[in-house]
Structure 1
């Protein structure tokens, strides 16, 4: 037993500890927010693999797949266990809660903790599909955001960077002081240098996604009609200088090129398909690290209010499109677009006007800063309604073991 009263301590948007009960409640809230299927699936559901299943859109994909489609299969993530001094990472506790919902729904979901970039993880997953799930995989959702990747073929470790390409980028950004008071500042990021672009593409592009498909195809584990989607983001012109036109944008362009290549190959191989899914803005542990994104998301929430579509509802839509329940909402480049609520001319004009007027003095009137700050805290299990944060909580939560 290792019970503690947990007080949120943070450095900027990064929190040192996570609250197990808050993380569990967050998963429960997402489960309730996911719309139930119009027709309850009968029999064993399709076999799915979600890579990056413990956080953000990957977590939403896992929960929406369980509730909306009745998937069974495997989730892969990379989380840290609790120690004597520190709690586990938030994703560890979210994974434990996800396993509880899968078990209650009667779905066989195996959750693995390890390096998704490694060949050993790919082999472990392939063995599970073969031995536990009938040797056929129906869906693969790829949702990985990582600072570095070691290529198993070469042993070279690549590191991603958040930099503009060609010139420096100056943008507004939103921070909070120790008392939670919002502050709008301007930050400048120098341009990519040397092999920054190539390194970022090697981490965040489509190389590992394609390697997963190659590995599973080599083991003859892809079912007829197999479909795969990599989750992506385009965003607003307001953030394009640091995002879509920067090093991360180059990686997303590579991801989309990989989708087109995989789509052609899978069509010939198993009558399958590959797409990128462009999701809308959300507060995630990855997005808060990008300059300008916090300010943009807070302003967007100020414009849309409850019209800002949460990840769980977006991923329910994605599953409907992948399974054929709904027709695919594709753009001219063949990408599934789940961000249309965000990128209309009306919404972007309203956000741009607020962006122009955003200062420390005006930000509370223009953006939903209370919502944004609470969303960041909820990523780590804090500020979740219904949790008594004065009560001790057990932090030694075990990683969920597969059902027999």
Structure 2
């Protein structure tokens, strides 16, 4: 037994430990928030979610299980508990998701390892072949990673969050050691050398395409196979560091990859490939981007409960993937789940608040309590209904891949 009381310890938006009971309750609440589908599919679709343990990938996994009745495989990279530290929050979220899937009779296997590697692709292909009927219906790709090792060359590429061309100054939101909010200006130096190429190689469409080619090479794509890479565009307020920066170049490459895959999948299996542009959310990846914390806090201040959480967005995406409703594509062929965020009237008010935001005024402009709690919930803290004064077991095992649901 490795029970202990876990208190939140953090450096900025990064927490040193995570809370197993809080992560479990968070997953249960997300599942409970998914409306039941109108009917039961004739056959449970087989799905692969690459990046299944956090953010939109976690939402895709839970919504797929609860709404679309999927079975299949989730791939992620998480750290196990040790004597000194808890496991990562994604480890506990995955264990909780697997337990819920079993409880609802869903067959879902979770694999922990490097999604960029060919060995993981082989492991997934073998599972699809021997356990899931040899045919994959859906692949959702949701990977945000700091680095990638090229399977062909062994070279390690590193992604960076930098503007292109000129330094960029922006407002950003930070909290001091006592939890007080402060609005600061920060400057980010522009990309140098091959920064942009390296970021594109990590966060662009190369690995997504490699997954599709690998599975197609094993003859594992079902007729009508669909695949979606999750993406983000965001506001003009954050464009210089995001959509027009190194990460934006990678997202543009992701969209280009979707068009290329779509052209090939159509004649091959009658399939589709698209990107899904999701709306803003507090995630472990987004909090690392300068300005995003301030922007999302202000957005919540404007929209309140009308801000659409990831689980609701991914529920809508699964309805489109399974044909419950038609694909809602823009002129670039992208699924758009961010219209609520980029509504011009909403953006006008957010921009006004952004321009007025200072340390003295921020409390009246942004929903700071919500934002602070959302960051803590990423690690299993600040979840309603959890007794944080009680000891909790930290040595939670990884879900047993041999359990069939």
Whether these two folds match at TM > 0.5 is yes
1:22 aligns with: 22
Secondary structure in 2 matching 1:83: coil
Secondary structure in 1 matching 2:380: coil
> Matched residues in 2 for 1:25 and 1:108: separation?
21
> Matched residues in 1 for 2:393 and 2:115: separation?
28
Instruction: Give the C-alpha shift of residue 329 in structure 1.
Output: 1.2
Instruction: Give the C-alpha shift of residue 38 in structure 1.
Output: 1.6
Query: Contact 1:164–1:241 at 8 Å: present in 2 too?
Result: yes
Secondary structure in 2 matching 1:45: coil
Secondary structure in 2 matching 1:341: helix
> Matched residues in 1 for 2:387 and 2:100: separation?
22
1:180 aligns with: 179
2:72 aligns with: 73
Query: Contact 1:35–1:313 at 8 Å: present in 2 too?
Result: no
Does the alignment pair 1:302 with 2:301?
Answer: yes
Secondary structure in 2 matching 1:367: coil
Secondary structure in 2 matching 1:374: helix
> Matched residues in 1 for 2:261 and 2:316: separation?
22
Secondary structure in 2 matching 1:284: coil
> Matched residues in 2 for 1:328 and 1:134: separation?
27
Structure 1, unaligned runs of 5 or more: none
2:2 aligns with: 2
1:238 aligns with: 237
1:272 aligns with: 271
1:349 aligns with: 348
2:384 aligns with: 385
Instruction: Give the C-alpha shift of residue 40 in structure 1.
Output: 3.1
Query: Contact 1:51–1:144 at 8 Å: present in 2 too?
Result: yes
> Matched residues in 2 for 1:70 and 1:324: separation?
13
Does the alignment pair 1:130 with 2:113?
Answer: no
Instruction: Give the C-alpha shift of residue 34 in structure 1.
Output: 1.3
Instruction: Give the C-alpha shift of residue 322 in structure 1.
Output: 1.0
Query: Over aligned residues, Cα RMSD in angstroms?
Result: 0.6
2:247 aligns with: 248
> Matched residues in 2 for 1:328 and 1:152: separation?
34
Secondary structure in 2 matching 1:301: helix
> Matched residues in 1 for 2:36 and 2:96: separation?
19
1:4-403 pair list within 5 angstroms: 4-42=4-42, 44-402=43-401, 403=403
Secondary structure in 2 matching 1:342: helix
Secondary structure in 1 matching 2:6: coil
Secondary structure in 2 matching 1:349: helix
Structure 2, unaligned runs of 5 or more: none
Post-superposition CA distance 1:317-367 (Å, at most 9, x none): 001111111111111100000000000110000000000000000101000
Secondary structure in 2 matching 1:18: coil
> Matched residues in 1 for 2:29 and 2:181: separation?
27
- TM-score w.r.t. structure 1 length? 0.99
> Matched residues in 2 for 1:343 and 1:39: separation?
33
Say how many residue pairs are matched. Answer: 403
> Matched residues in 2 for 1:295 and 1:271: separation?
43
Secondary structure in 2 matching 1:306: helix
Secondary structure in 1 matching 2:360: coil
Secondary structure in 2 matching 1:269: helix
Query: Contact 1:161–1:200 at 8 Å: present in 2 too?
Result: yes
> Matched residues in 1 for 2:41 and 2:358: separation?
51
Query: Contact 1:141–1:231 at 8 Å: present in 2 too?
Result: yes
> Matched residues in 2 for 1:180 and 1:163: separation?
27
Instruction: Give the C-alpha shift of residue 41 in structure 1.
Output: 3.1
> Matched residues in 1 for 2:39 and 2:292: separation?
38
> Matched residues in 1 for 2:29 and 2:352: separation?
33
